[in-house]
Amino acid sequence: MANMNSALLALADPTRRAVFERVARAPAPVSDIAKGLPVSRPAVSQHLKVLKEAGLVVDHADGARRIYRIDPRGLGPLRAWLDQFWGAALDAFAADLEAQELETHAKDDKDDEHD
Amino acid sequence: MANMNSALLALADPTRRAVFERVARAPAPVSDIAKGLPVSRPAVSQHLKVLKEAGLVVDHADGARRIYRIDPRGLGPLRAWLDQFWGAALDAFAADLEAQELETHAKDDKDDEHD
DNA sequence: ATAAAATGTAAGTTATGACTTACGGTAAGT
DNA sequence: ACTTACCGTAAGTCATAACTTACATTTTAT
């Protein structure tokens, strides 16, 4: 998949996000990742599978172990989606909100309005 | 709340993300938002409540209606969290991955992983 | 005053997913 | 060859959350 939807779904779970952040700090085998987490090793394997299918991590064999590392490119679609609302929308929001609040106040304080 | 976790949780659901995108296009009352979606109006109300608690939308009364509009500032923590991995990590990833693949090739050519 | 419109919430149902233990397969050590 | 370590997956349990209908509240219109 590796689209914005799968990345969002993957990162929404706190445990899985902890796995992602751990892998982001340094590449590590599954057992090491599970060491610092309050869930079992198979649970970590399942989380890594979801992260991998979302394009957020990559793995490679190292003997009997599998080393997982972050793939920051998987965050690209999500970041692009966010930027849709971040730039111009932020400025527009401030102006719109202010104008809207002025209207609301004018309606609320109708006993105090003049002109 | 209005932290990164709540924003991520809120935007992970496709229906709720559709509500968010609809509100982002233009402020609208609940009924109008529900018009273009395949779920009931109360469902939209519940989604809007989650989005509001995550700081992603704001609402104000307009007679018997409530107008919802996007609050792009709610995306701030999420964006900041993403940038943790986006900048330097992206460059480091390319170099690390290349080096790692060289090691893998040098040791053995049994790489069977692909997207 | 009554009715209608717009919305939020309560209650109940159901699907999904996060977790566990158990098991099978592969690689390394003795 | 046998044992140990590392890992992925299957099966089953359980909590959560997304949805529905029903109801209560507030505002507007007749």
Distance CA B30, CA B19 (A): 10
Nearest CB to B73 within list A70, A79, A90:
A90
Q: What is the pLDDT of residues B53-70, one digit of tens each?
A: 999 999 999 999 999 999
Distance CA B60, CA A58 (A): 45
Distance CA A75, CA B90 (A): 10
Q: What is the pLDDT of residues A19-36, one digit of tens each?
A: 999 999 999 999 999 999
C-beta separation of A6 from B3 below 8 A: no
Assigned fold of A1-109: Arc Repressor Mutant, subunit A (1.10.10)
Residue A57 has a pLDDT of 96
Handedness of CA A3, B81, B60, B51 (dihedral sign): positive
Q: Is the pLDDT of residue A90 over 90?
A: no
Q: Which regions of chain B does DSSP assign to beta strands (E)?
A: 28-29, 57-62, 65-70
Q: Is the pLDDT of residue A111 over 60?
A: no
Beta-bridge partner residues of A67? A29, A60
DSSP-based three-state secondary structure for A67: strand
Per-domain residue ranges of chain B: 1-108
Contact A8 B8 (CB under 8 A): yes
Average pLDDT, whole number, for chain B? 84
Encoded tokens for A88 = 């111009």
Q: Between the CA of B65 and the C1' of C5, what is the distance in angstroms? A: 9
**Chain B residues whose beta carbon lies within 8 Å of the beta carbon of residue A4:** none
Q: Show the low-confidence residues of chain B (pLDDT under 70).
A: 1, 88-115
A102 pLDDT band (50/70/90 cuts)?
very low
- Which CATH architecture describes the domain B1-108? Orthogonal Bundle (1.10)
